[in-house]
Structure 1
């Protein structure tokens, strides 16, 4: 016996017409721009990073991580 196909309970939205205006909320542009800017600033400022003087073990660890990532 063949399986029954469920029927739709809501109508399907029509496809947008050619040249139709698409409106985005403000955060759909602002959030990706803010994320890109933050990541870019992290990458751009990494050349000036210095290990702290009081914790040489942390500095050595960070230096090892830097060498590992650079390979």
Structure 2
């Protein structure tokens, strides 16, 4: 028994290619852009840029642990 093949439509004839995106594919980049734009407009809210970095404290702690264990 043979199977019927669906004829392919030319995108130019049907009015173009239709792309469907989930809602979050538009909402999340828009939200991230808005948050970054707000940080640029008011950099005082960027608390992560001030003070000592957390990585420095973690590295000092690891170094202290290694120095206690190593003779």
* TM-score normalised by length of structure 2: 0.41
* TM-score normalised by length of structure 1: 0.41
Q: Which has the higher contact order (CA 8 A, sep 6+)?
A: 1
